[in-house]
Amino acid sequence: MTEHTETNTENFRPSSTEIERRYRNVHAAMDRHDLDALIVSGSEYTGFEGAVRYMCGFHLLHRYAYVLIPRDGEPTCVFPREATWVGDHSATFIEQRVFPSHCGEWMADYLRERQLSRVGVYGLNFIISVRDYRALAGAGLDLIDFDEAFDHARAQKSDEELVSVRRSMEINKAGVLAVIQAYEPGKTEAELMGAAEATFAALGTARNTMDMVLIGPNGSILPQMVFPSPTRKVRDSDGLLYGLEVSGPGGHWIEFSRLLAPGGVNDATRRLLDLYAEFHELVKTHLKAGSSAEEVHRKVIAPFEGKGYRLGHVSGHSIGMTMIEAPRIGEGSEFELPENMVCSMHPHVMTEDRQACLYMQETFRVGIDGGEPLSGVPVKVYDGSETSL
Protein backbone atom coordinates (compact mmCIF):
# COMPACT_ATOMS: atom_id res chain seq x y z
CA MET A 1 0.00 0.00 0.00
CA THR A 2 1.15 3.54 -0.66
CA GLU A 3 2.45 5.58 2.23
CA HIS A 4 0.42 8.37 3.89
CA THR A 5 1.64 10.27 6.91
CA GLU A 6 -1.33 12.45 7.80
CA THR A 7 -4.97 12.97 7.05
CA ASN A 8 -5.87 15.29 4.17
CA THR A 9 -8.50 17.38 5.94
CA GLU A 10 -9.93 18.73 2.70
CA ASN A 11 -10.41 15.42 0.89
CA PHE A 12 -10.32 13.21 4.00
CA ARG A 13 -7.68 10.93 2.51
CA PRO A 14 -6.94 8.49 5.33
CA SER A 15 -3.57 8.49 7.08
CA SER A 16 -1.31 5.44 7.18
CA THR A 17 -2.35 4.90 10.79
CA GLU A 18 -6.01 4.84 9.80
CA ILE A 19 -5.42 2.51 6.85
CA GLU A 20 -3.47 0.12 9.06
CA ARG A 21 -6.26 0.19 11.66
CA ARG A 22 -8.88 -0.73 9.07
CA TYR A 23 -6.84 -3.62 7.70
CA ARG A 24 -5.92 -4.85 11.17
CA ASN A 25 -9.61 -5.02 12.16
CA VAL A 26 -10.67 -6.69 8.92
CA HIS A 27 -7.84 -9.24 9.07
CA ALA A 28 -8.85 -10.08 12.65
CA ALA A 29 -12.42 -10.73 11.45
CA MET A 30 -11.07 -12.91 8.63
CA ASP A 31 -9.05 -14.91 11.14
CA ARG A 32 -12.07 -15.42 13.38
CA HIS A 33 -13.98 -16.91 10.44
CA ASP A 34 -10.98 -18.86 9.11
CA LEU A 35 -11.04 -17.18 5.69
CA ASP A 36 -8.33 -17.65 3.07
CA ALA A 37 -9.36 -14.43 1.35
CA LEU A 38 -12.01 -11.70 1.35
CA ILE A 39 -13.71 -9.98 -1.58
CA VAL A 40 -15.13 -6.54 -0.76
CA SER A 41 -17.75 -5.42 -3.30
CA GLY A 42 -18.89 -1.92 -4.19
CA SER A 43 -21.48 -0.60 -6.61
CA GLU A 44 -22.58 2.81 -7.85
CA TYR A 45 -26.04 1.97 -6.45
CA THR A 46 -26.63 4.78 -3.96
CA GLY A 47 -25.11 4.01 -0.57
CA PHE A 48 -23.38 0.80 -1.70
CA GLU A 49 -20.12 2.34 -2.90
CA GLY A 50 -18.52 2.88 0.48
CA ALA A 51 -16.97 -0.48 1.38
CA VAL A 52 -14.56 -0.31 -1.56
CA ARG A 53 -13.67 3.27 -0.66
CA TYR A 54 -13.14 2.20 2.96
CA MET A 55 -10.60 -0.45 1.95
CA CYS A 56 -8.80 1.29 -0.91
CA GLY A 57 -9.71 5.00 -1.11
CA PHE A 58 -11.35 4.83 -4.55
CA HIS A 59 -14.66 6.71 -4.89
CA LEU A 60 -16.90 4.92 -7.36
CA LEU A 61 -18.25 7.18 -10.05
CA HIS A 62 -19.87 4.51 -12.24
CA ARG A 63 -20.29 0.74 -12.44
CA TYR A 64 -18.67 -1.39 -9.72
CA ALA A 65 -15.33 -2.46 -8.23
CA TYR A 66 -13.77 -4.91 -5.77
CA VAL A 67 -10.94 -5.17 -3.27
CA LEU A 68 -9.51 -8.69 -3.03
CA ILE A 69 -7.74 -9.27 0.29
CA PRO A 70 -5.79 -12.51 0.82
CA ARG A 71 -5.07 -13.64 4.36
CA ASP A 72 -1.37 -13.35 3.54
CA GLY A 73 -0.05 -10.88 1.01
CA GLU A 74 -1.06 -7.53 -0.42
CA PRO A 75 -4.61 -6.59 -1.42
CA THR A 76 -5.60 -5.90 -5.02
CA CYS A 77 -8.13 -3.45 -6.46
CA VAL A 78 -10.13 -5.05 -9.24
CA PHE A 79 -11.72 -2.57 -11.65
CA PRO A 80 -13.70 -3.49 -14.79
CA ARG A 81 -11.74 -2.68 -17.94
CA GLU A 82 -14.60 -0.65 -19.40
CA ALA A 83 -14.26 1.72 -16.43
CA THR A 84 -10.52 2.34 -16.84
CA TRP A 85 -11.10 6.07 -17.29
CA VAL A 86 -14.12 6.36 -14.98
CA GLY A 87 -13.19 7.78 -11.58
CA ASP A 88 -9.93 9.05 -10.11
CA HIS A 89 -7.82 5.94 -9.65
CA SER A 90 -4.95 8.02 -8.29
CA ALA A 91 -6.98 8.33 -5.06
CA THR A 92 -6.50 4.61 -4.50
CA PHE A 93 -4.04 3.86 -1.68
CA ILE A 94 -3.51 0.23 -2.78
CA GLU A 95 -0.60 -0.27 -5.17
CA GLN A 96 -1.86 -3.42 -6.91
CA ARG A 97 -4.61 -2.56 -9.39
CA VAL A 98 -5.93 -4.63 -12.26
CA PHE A 99 -8.44 -3.87 -15.02
CA PRO A 100 -9.68 -7.22 -16.39
CA SER A 101 -12.43 -7.56 -18.98
CA HIS A 102 -14.27 -9.91 -16.58
CA CYS A 103 -13.67 -9.19 -12.88
CA GLY A 104 -15.27 -12.40 -11.64
CA GLU A 105 -13.18 -14.64 -13.87
CA TRP A 106 -9.99 -12.78 -12.93
CA MET A 107 -10.71 -13.15 -9.19
CA ALA A 108 -11.62 -16.83 -9.61
CA ASP A 109 -8.32 -17.48 -11.43
CA TYR A 110 -6.34 -15.55 -8.78
CA LEU A 111 -7.90 -17.58 -5.96
CA ARG A 112 -7.52 -20.96 -7.67
CA GLU A 113 -3.88 -20.34 -8.61
CA ARG A 114 -3.07 -19.59 -4.95
CA GLN A 115 -5.28 -22.40 -3.62
CA LEU A 116 -7.39 -19.96 -1.62
CA SER A 117 -10.71 -21.76 -1.34
CA ARG A 118 -12.56 -20.40 1.71
CA VAL A 119 -13.53 -16.93 0.52
CA GLY A 120 -15.62 -14.36 2.35
CA VAL A 121 -17.69 -11.98 0.24
CA TYR A 122 -18.88 -8.61 1.48
CA GLY A 123 -21.84 -7.64 -0.69
CA LEU A 124 -23.05 -11.18 -1.34
CA ASN A 125 -26.67 -10.31 -0.55
CA PHE A 126 -27.13 -7.02 -2.39
CA ILE A 127 -24.03 -5.66 -4.13
CA ILE A 128 -21.90 -8.10 -6.11
CA SER A 129 -22.45 -8.23 -9.87
CA VAL A 130 -24.41 -11.33 -10.89
CA ARG A 131 -21.93 -11.97 -13.71
CA ASP A 132 -19.01 -11.95 -11.29
CA TYR A 133 -20.83 -14.05 -8.70
CA ARG A 134 -21.54 -16.73 -11.28
CA ALA A 135 -17.87 -16.92 -12.22
CA LEU A 136 -16.84 -17.27 -8.56
CA ALA A 137 -19.61 -19.77 -7.74
CA GLY A 138 -18.60 -21.90 -10.73
CA ALA A 139 -14.97 -22.05 -9.66
CA GLY A 140 -15.50 -24.54 -6.84
CA LEU A 141 -14.84 -21.97 -4.12
CA ASP A 142 -16.46 -22.02 -0.70
CA LEU A 143 -18.14 -18.59 -0.71
CA ILE A 144 -19.00 -17.25 2.75
CA ASP A 145 -21.51 -14.46 3.39
CA PHE A 146 -19.36 -11.87 5.15
CA ASP A 147 -21.76 -8.92 5.16
CA GLU A 148 -22.38 -8.68 8.90
CA ALA A 149 -18.86 -9.69 9.93
CA PHE A 150 -17.31 -6.97 7.77
CA ASP A 151 -19.72 -4.32 9.05
CA HIS A 152 -19.07 -5.32 12.65
CA ALA A 153 -15.32 -5.02 12.01
CA ARG A 154 -15.71 -1.39 10.92
CA ALA A 155 -18.51 -0.39 13.34
CA GLN A 156 -16.26 1.52 15.72
CA LYS A 157 -15.23 4.80 14.16
CA SER A 158 -11.80 6.28 14.77
CA ASP A 159 -11.28 9.92 15.76
CA GLU A 160 -10.13 10.45 12.18
CA GLU A 161 -13.37 9.03 10.81
CA LEU A 162 -15.47 11.10 13.21
CA VAL A 163 -14.05 14.27 11.67
CA SER A 164 -15.53 13.12 8.36
CA VAL A 165 -18.81 12.08 10.03
CA ARG A 166 -19.25 15.50 11.62
CA ARG A 167 -18.46 17.26 8.35
CA SER A 168 -21.18 15.23 6.63
CA MET A 169 -23.64 16.28 9.32
CA GLU A 170 -22.86 19.96 8.79
CA ILE A 171 -23.52 19.52 5.08
CA ASN A 172 -26.78 17.67 5.75
CA LYS A 173 -27.95 20.38 8.15
CA ALA A 174 -27.18 23.02 5.53
CA GLY A 175 -29.42 21.14 3.08
CA VAL A 176 -32.31 20.92 5.54
CA LEU A 177 -31.99 24.63 6.27
CA ALA A 178 -31.90 25.36 2.53
CA VAL A 179 -35.27 23.62 2.11
CA ILE A 180 -36.77 25.58 5.00
CA GLN A 181 -35.47 28.90 3.70
CA ALA A 182 -36.56 28.16 0.13
CA TYR A 183 -40.12 27.41 1.23
CA GLU A 184 -42.89 29.43 -0.40
CA PRO A 185 -46.44 28.24 -1.03
CA GLY A 186 -46.77 27.55 -4.73
CA LYS A 187 -43.31 26.13 -5.22
CA THR A 188 -43.20 22.50 -6.28
CA GLU A 189 -41.97 19.69 -4.07
CA ALA A 190 -39.04 19.21 -6.45
CA GLU A 191 -38.07 22.90 -6.38
CA LEU A 192 -37.64 22.69 -2.62
CA MET A 193 -35.56 19.53 -2.95
CA GLY A 194 -33.49 21.33 -5.56
CA ALA A 195 -32.45 23.88 -2.95
CA ALA A 196 -31.01 21.09 -0.82
CA GLU A 197 -29.32 19.40 -3.76
CA ALA A 198 -27.66 22.63 -4.88
CA THR A 199 -26.27 23.05 -1.36
CA PHE A 200 -25.07 19.46 -1.23
CA ALA A 201 -23.31 19.63 -4.59
CA ALA A 202 -21.59 22.90 -3.69
CA LEU A 203 -20.31 21.41 -0.40
CA GLY A 204 -18.78 18.29 -1.90
CA THR A 205 -21.23 15.40 -1.72
CA ALA A 206 -20.75 14.63 -5.43
CA ARG A 207 -23.46 12.06 -6.26
CA ASN A 208 -23.70 10.71 -2.72
CA THR A 209 -27.20 11.83 -1.82
CA MET A 210 -30.33 9.76 -1.27
CA ASP A 211 -33.25 12.14 -0.86
CA MET A 212 -36.97 11.54 -0.50
CA VAL A 213 -40.02 13.30 0.86
CA LEU A 214 -42.99 12.40 3.04
CA ILE A 215 -45.92 14.79 2.66
CA GLY A 216 -49.45 14.99 4.02
CA PRO A 217 -52.43 17.36 3.99
CA ASN A 218 -53.70 19.56 6.83
CA GLY A 219 -50.65 19.39 9.04
CA SER A 220 -50.15 15.65 8.73
CA ILE A 221 -47.54 13.32 7.23
CA LEU A 222 -48.51 10.24 5.19
CA PRO A 223 -46.24 7.18 5.55
CA GLN A 224 -45.19 6.68 1.92
CA MET A 225 -41.64 7.74 1.07
CA VAL A 226 -41.68 9.17 -2.46
CA PHE A 227 -39.68 11.22 -4.93
CA PRO A 228 -40.61 14.93 -4.79
CA SER A 229 -43.07 15.84 -7.52
CA PRO A 230 -41.96 18.35 -10.18
CA THR A 231 -45.58 19.44 -10.68
CA ARG A 232 -47.33 19.35 -7.29
CA LYS A 233 -47.24 22.73 -5.58
CA VAL A 234 -46.90 22.85 -1.81
CA ARG A 235 -49.39 24.61 0.44
CA ASP A 236 -49.06 26.21 3.87
CA SER A 237 -51.37 23.53 5.24
CA ASP A 238 -49.05 20.70 4.17
CA GLY A 239 -46.77 18.73 6.42
CA LEU A 240 -43.40 18.31 4.70
CA LEU A 241 -40.63 15.94 5.74
CA TYR A 242 -37.64 16.08 3.44
CA GLY A 243 -35.64 12.97 4.33
CA LEU A 244 -32.09 13.89 3.43
CA GLU A 245 -29.21 11.40 3.52
CA VAL A 246 -25.74 12.39 2.30
CA SER A 247 -22.07 11.61 2.60
CA GLY A 248 -19.61 14.47 2.46
CA PRO A 249 -16.08 14.56 1.01
CA GLY A 250 -14.85 11.85 3.38
CA GLY A 251 -17.49 9.36 2.29
CA HIS A 252 -19.28 8.87 5.62
CA TRP A 253 -23.05 8.82 5.33
CA ILE A 254 -25.31 10.84 7.62
CA GLU A 255 -29.12 10.94 7.95
CA PHE A 256 -30.89 14.02 9.26
CA SER A 257 -34.33 15.59 8.77
CA ARG A 258 -36.84 17.77 10.58
CA LEU A 259 -40.55 18.51 10.10
CA LEU A 260 -41.58 21.58 8.09
CA ALA A 261 -45.24 22.60 8.59
CA PRO A 262 -45.83 26.31 7.94
CA GLY A 263 -49.49 26.11 9.01
CA GLY A 264 -48.81 23.93 12.02
CA VAL A 265 -49.62 20.27 12.62
CA ASN A 266 -52.83 18.46 13.47
CA ASP A 267 -53.48 16.75 16.80
CA ALA A 268 -52.38 13.29 15.64
CA THR A 269 -49.07 14.61 14.34
CA ARG A 270 -48.53 16.68 17.49
CA ARG A 271 -48.91 13.57 19.64
CA LEU A 272 -46.42 11.73 17.43
CA LEU A 273 -43.99 14.64 17.61
CA ASP A 274 -44.11 14.63 21.42
CA LEU A 275 -43.44 10.88 21.45
CA TYR A 276 -40.59 11.30 18.95
CA ALA A 277 -38.99 13.89 21.22
CA GLU A 278 -39.26 11.39 24.08
CA PHE A 279 -37.68 8.73 21.85
CA HIS A 280 -34.71 11.02 21.16
CA GLU A 281 -34.21 11.65 24.86
CA LEU A 282 -34.19 7.91 25.51
CA VAL A 283 -31.59 7.41 22.76
CA LYS A 284 -29.40 9.98 24.51
CA THR A 285 -29.74 7.94 27.70
CA HIS A 286 -29.50 4.36 26.43
CA LEU A 287 -27.29 4.33 23.31
CA LYS A 288 -24.35 3.29 25.45
CA ALA A 289 -21.20 1.37 24.68
CA GLY A 290 -21.57 -2.18 25.95
CA SER A 291 -25.31 -2.41 25.37
CA SER A 292 -26.67 -4.79 22.76
CA ALA A 293 -28.46 -3.39 19.73
CA GLU A 294 -31.67 -5.20 20.72
CA GLU A 295 -31.46 -3.92 24.30
CA VAL A 296 -31.21 -0.34 23.05
CA HIS A 297 -34.12 -0.86 20.66
CA ARG A 298 -36.42 -2.20 23.39
CA LYS A 299 -35.65 0.74 25.68
CA VAL A 300 -35.93 3.58 23.18
CA ILE A 301 -39.05 2.37 21.36
CA ALA A 302 -41.09 2.37 24.59
CA PRO A 303 -42.89 5.72 23.98
CA PHE A 304 -44.77 4.27 20.99
CA GLU A 305 -45.75 0.93 22.49
CA GLY A 306 -49.32 0.22 23.56
CA LYS A 307 -50.65 3.46 22.07
CA GLY A 308 -52.13 2.17 18.81
CA TYR A 309 -49.17 2.81 16.52
CA ARG A 310 -47.58 0.62 13.87
CA LEU A 311 -43.80 0.53 13.48
CA GLY A 312 -42.93 0.43 9.80
CA HIS A 313 -39.18 0.45 10.42
CA VAL A 314 -36.59 -0.63 12.99
CA SER A 315 -35.38 1.97 15.49
CA GLY A 316 -32.25 2.52 13.44
CA HIS A 317 -29.03 1.02 12.13
CA SER A 318 -25.29 1.42 12.07
CA ILE A 319 -24.12 3.86 9.41
CA GLY A 320 -20.70 4.58 7.96
CA MET A 321 -19.15 4.61 4.50
CA THR A 322 -22.00 2.35 3.45
CA MET A 323 -25.39 3.96 3.99
CA ILE A 324 -26.91 1.03 5.86
CA GLU A 325 -24.51 -1.15 7.83
CA ALA A 326 -25.04 -3.97 10.31
CA PRO A 327 -26.17 -4.17 12.98
CA ARG A 328 -29.68 -2.89 12.84
CA ILE A 329 -30.94 -1.41 16.10
CA GLY A 330 -33.84 -3.80 16.43
CA GLU A 331 -35.05 -7.15 17.64
CA GLY A 332 -32.76 -10.14 17.30
CA SER A 333 -29.56 -8.10 17.10
CA GLU A 334 -27.21 -9.11 19.92
CA PHE A 335 -24.18 -7.14 18.69
CA GLU A 336 -22.53 -5.23 21.55
CA LEU A 337 -22.21 -1.56 20.61
CA PRO A 338 -18.67 -0.15 20.84
CA GLU A 339 -17.86 3.43 21.79
CA ASN A 340 -17.81 5.75 18.77
CA MET A 341 -20.04 3.55 16.66
CA VAL A 342 -22.36 5.83 14.66
CA CYS A 343 -26.07 5.05 14.33
CA SER A 344 -28.91 6.56 12.35
CA MET A 345 -32.06 6.48 14.51
CA HIS A 346 -35.39 6.91 12.72
CA PRO A 347 -38.38 4.73 13.66
CA HIS A 348 -41.08 4.87 10.98
CA VAL A 349 -44.15 5.29 13.18
CA MET A 350 -47.73 5.56 11.92
CA THR A 351 -51.29 5.37 13.17
CA GLU A 352 -53.27 2.19 12.47
CA ASP A 353 -55.26 3.97 9.75
CA ARG A 354 -51.99 5.17 8.09
CA GLN A 355 -53.22 8.77 8.09
CA ALA A 356 -50.52 10.15 10.39
CA CYS A 357 -46.82 9.30 10.45
CA LEU A 358 -43.40 10.53 11.47
CA TYR A 359 -40.02 9.46 10.13
CA MET A 360 -37.41 11.91 11.36
CA GLN A 361 -33.77 10.98 11.04
CA GLU A 362 -31.02 11.81 13.49
CA THR A 363 -27.49 10.42 13.59
CA PHE A 364 -25.95 9.60 16.98
CA ARG A 365 -22.50 8.68 18.24
CA VAL A 366 -22.45 5.83 20.76
CA GLY A 367 -20.87 7.13 23.97
CA ILE A 368 -19.81 5.66 27.28
CA ASP A 369 -22.70 7.38 29.07
CA GLY A 370 -25.23 7.56 26.22
CA GLY A 371 -25.88 8.73 22.69
CA GLU A 372 -24.64 12.03 21.28
CA PRO A 373 -27.03 13.54 18.69
CA LEU A 374 -24.65 14.88 16.07
CA SER A 375 -26.95 17.58 14.69
CA GLY A 376 -27.67 19.35 17.98
CA VAL A 377 -31.00 20.40 16.43
CA PRO A 378 -34.19 20.21 18.54
CA VAL A 379 -37.05 17.89 17.62
CA LYS A 380 -39.79 20.40 16.82
CA VAL A 381 -41.90 21.84 14.01
CA TYR A 382 -40.31 24.40 11.67
CA ASP A 383 -42.51 26.91 9.85
CA GLY A 384 -40.25 28.30 7.10
CA SER A 385 -39.27 31.51 8.88
CA GLU A 386 -36.10 30.10 10.43
CA THR A 387 -32.72 31.58 9.53
CA SER A 388 -30.72 28.91 11.35
CA LEU A 389 -31.15 25.48 12.92
Q: Are residues 44 and 171 in the same domain?
A: no
- Of 103, 129, 153, which residue is a domain's last? 153
What is the CATH number for 58? 3.40.350.10
- Which of 9-23, 119-133, 169-183, 234-248 bottoms out in mean pLDDT, i.e. has the lowest? 9-23
When divided into structural domains, the chain yields a total of: 2
DSSP letters for 282-304: HHHHH-BTT-BHHHHHHHHTGGG
Distance from C-alpha of 164 to C-alpha of 10, rounded to nearest angstrom: 10
- Of 98, 130, 153, which residue is a domain's last? 153
Average pLDDT, the chain: 95
What pLDDT, in 10s, does the model give residues 134-169?
999 999 999 999 999 999 999 999 999 999 999 999
- Of 103, 120, 153, which residue is a domain's last? 153
Q: What are 156's strand-pairing partners?
A: 341
pTM: 0.95
pLDDT of residue 69: 98
In a domain, 388, yes or no: no
What is the CATH number for 163? 3.90.230.10
* Cis before 327 (ω within 30): yes
Distance from C-alpha of 351 to C-alpha of 269, rounded to nearest angstrom: 10
Q: Is the pLDDT of residue 8 over 70?
A: no
Q: Are residues 176 and 278 in the same domain?
A: yes
Mean pLDDT over residues 342-370, rounded? 96
The number of C-alpha atoms within 13 Å of 317 and in the hemisphere containing its C-beta is 18
The strand pair at 309-311 and 349-351 is best described as antiparallel
Under DSSP, is residue 232 helix (H, G, I), strand (E, B) or coil? coil
Range of the domain at 358: 159-382
pLDDT above 70: percentage of residues in the chain: 97
Q: Are residues 250 and 304 in the same domain?
A: yes
Q: Are residues 180 and 108 in the same domain?
A: no
Q: Are residues 125 and 211 in the same domain?
A: no
Q: Is the pLDDT of residue 10 over 80?
A: no
pLDDT of residue 1: 59
Q: Are residues 59 and 88 in the same domain?
A: yes
Q: Are residues 105 and 248 in the same domain?
A: no
Q: Are residues 165 and 245 in the same domain?
A: yes
